[in-house]
Structure 1
Amino acid sequence: MRLCARAERSAGDARRLMRGWGLAQSDAEAVLARLVGDRFIDDRRYAEAFVREKLRLSGWGAYKIRAALARKGIAPATIDEALAQAEGPEMAQRLRQALERKARTVRYATPYELKTKLIRYGLSLGYDYASVLETASALNPDTDSCDDFF
């Protein structure tokens, strides 16, 4: 209870912690049921906090957030609800800011190389290809289309 009171935890996190402590599976499930019943652990609340943190502080996109929450054992419906609250024009603005920041620090020989690096960077942050391509093209309009290779 003390660990859950200090920081938001998911049920998967709690299971991993208890497994690491050597707790028997049945005992761990009983403890987890009590923590969930007393609302120390709530996967919906955890997912919402995780999405807010990763969007605002880390600049992650929806794909990367979805994958991280799935690895933590959060149900897909819960992930969808948490992401639905955060998606919108704010995500597009964050992507633009991240790509602008990257464009100032990356080395490139041609505008096409810059655009390619920006696209790779945007995808690595977890944004969808269409949004990344549109934003990179808007930042660097002097390049040919990258779609010629597909």
Structure 2
Amino acid sequence: MKEITEKEALGKMASYCSLSEHCRSEVEEKLRKWELDDESIQRIIQTLVEENYLNEERYCESFIHDKLFFNKWGKLKLAQALYFKRIPDKIIRKYLDKIDEEEYLEILSKLIEAKQKTIKAKNDYEFKAKLMRFAYSKGFDSEDIAKCLQND
């Protein structure tokens, strides 16, 4: 692999961050693959932050929007994914709290409604248990699931 200079890495990362939102951990991971030293990595990340190519809040807001509306992820799965990307909990909470509750429950209701058509169960208990497992796997909590199941 050709050795990459700090200046070249900064240029590539600026371009990478211009195409879509990225967080520090993604950029850091990419820079480590290029075998840059820790000091260079920190300088590059600091420059990207100062020039507003990297913004954890903007990333978090974008990530939540995309995963909620396109992938239909619940708050638990969103929080976990952002935690693994090393987004500060304070930022995660701020943007999860901004999710409109009515919209959120509507997303879950539609997921449950679609899943109901494909479930085969011996009885009502098994049917609801399968629906709940499905909703849990998408990252929704038991309180929200119960609200949606009561509306059926």
TM over 0.5: yes
Match of 1:80 among 64, 88, 93: 93
- TM-score, normalised on structure 1? 0.89
Identity %: 26
Residue 98 in structure 1 maps to residue 111 in structure 2: yes
Residue 56 in structure 1 maps to residue 69 in structure 2: yes
Looking at structure 1, the residues matched to 31 and 47 of structure 2 have their Cα atoms a distance apart, in angstroms, of 14
Match of 2:50 among 27, 33, 37: 37
Q: Which residue of 2 aligns with 1:130?
A: 143
CA contact (8 A) 1:43 1:74 kept: yes
Can you list the C-alpha shifts for 1:7-47, whole angstroms capped at 9, x where unaligned? 11001111111111111111000000000000000000000
Kindly state the Cα deviation for residue 84 of structure 1 after the two structures are TM-superposed. 1.6
Looking at structure 2, the residues matched to 102 and 79 of structure 1 have their Cα atoms a distance apart, in angstroms, of 29
Q: Which residue of 2 aligns with 1:148?
A: none
Kindly state the Cα deviation for residue 100 of structure 1 after the two structures are TM-superposed. 0.5
- The letter of the residue matching 2:85 is K
Match of 1:107 among 102, 120, 124: 120
Residue 16 in structure 1 maps to residue 24 in structure 2: no
Runs of 4+ deviating beyond 2 Å: 136-139
